[in-house]
Amino acid sequence: MRRWRTLLAMLAAVVTAATMSPAPASAADPVVPYVVGGSRAALGEFPFMVRLSMGCGGALYSPTLVLTAAHCVSRTGANTSITATFGAIDLQSSTRVTRKSNYVYRAPGYNGNGDDWAFIRLASPVSGANIATLPIVTSTAYDSGTFTIAGWGANREGGAQQRYLLKATVPFVSDSTCNSSSMYGGQVIAAEEICAGLTSGGVDTCQGDSGGPMFRQGASGWVQVGIVSWGDGCARPNKPGVYTQVSYFSSAIRSAATSLGG
């Protein structure tokens, strides 16, 4: 439920630090649930995916900025405590690239309800093999269809954080359906949030995926449509994932990026 989001993010951070349990070893495992209900991503498949040390995901917006969720950070201001990991699907890979943060920008007005986006600024620019930026959408043109989700969060409700990046696809769910009495009964902020998932459940983001991108193909490659924000449990029937609707915030996100120096 909404009010548990911050608590869950904090729990995810603790769990991440304590237990980095590997996903099942064989790439041949046919239908083991991942993200929830997904499969393992390939190296370089999603070169914009970022793992943040507080137990959240993110997307590389520019060489020095990672777009994540407001509920993953505590406040706007100098912050040198976050480590971001890039260029790897295996968080323990010897070829992973890491950067420290030097500043956090949390969406102005964030109070735990909506406005769930933030930037982490890196102490130095990141680049390299299997590292690339993800452009955000700037209109509602791509706010429908089939979305890809990915992250190192739990592969089932209450499950452990993952060592290997997991991915899945989920269909768009309209605001009216998502806010219907059988789903979220009006809890979704229609203008600011976008839902995705199966009515039957089974595929979803989960704790520790927060802040990561939801994306789809645009005119020339992947574009970011959402930011993992919240849901009632994970992958439950009639409880789609709820994502920050990037198109609604795109102007604010762009001007924040400019003010942060890129």
Using CB under 6 A as the criterion, which residues of the chain lie in contact with ligand ARG when the complex forms? 5, 8-9, 12, 153, 204-210, 228, 230-231, 234, 241
CA 207 vs CA 147, 152, 212: distances in Å: 19, 9, 11
CB of 107 to ligand ARG, least distance (A): 15
Catalytic residue among 101, 210, 229, 247: 210
CB of 206 to ligand ARG, least distance (A): 6
Report yes or no: 84 and 51 within 8 Å, Cβ to Cβ: yes
> Could you tell me which residues come within 8 angstroms of residue 204 by beta carbon, excluding any fewer than 6 positions away?
35, 36, 37, 149, 168, 170, 197, 231, 234, 235, 236, 240, 241
Report yes or no: 222 and 167 within 8 Å, Cβ to Cβ: no
Catalytic residue among 116, 143, 204, 209: 116
Beta-sheet pairing, 193-196 with 213-218? unpaired
116 has catalytic annotation: yes
Q: Which residue is nearest to ligand ARG (CB)?
A: 231
- Integer Cα distance of 226 and 239 in angstroms: 17
CB of 201 to ligand ARG, least distance (A): 10
Report yes or no: 170 and 203 within 8 Å, Cβ to Cβ: yes
CB of 12 to ligand ARG, least distance (A): 5
Measured from the CB atom, the residue of 143 and 209 that comes closer to ligand ARG is 209
Measured from the CB atom, the residue of 47 and 202 that comes closer to ligand ARG is 202
Measured from the CB atom, the residue of 225 and 228 that comes closer to ligand ARG is 228
Measured from the CB atom, the residue of 13 and 88 that comes closer to ligand ARG is 13
Report yes or no: 161 and 12 within 8 Å, Cβ to Cβ: yes
53 has catalytic annotation: no
CB of 64 to ligand ARG, least distance (A): 24
Measured from the CB atom, the residue of 102 and 238 that comes closer to ligand ARG is 238
71 has catalytic annotation: yes
Q: Looking at the annotation, which residues are catalytic?
A: 71, 116, 210
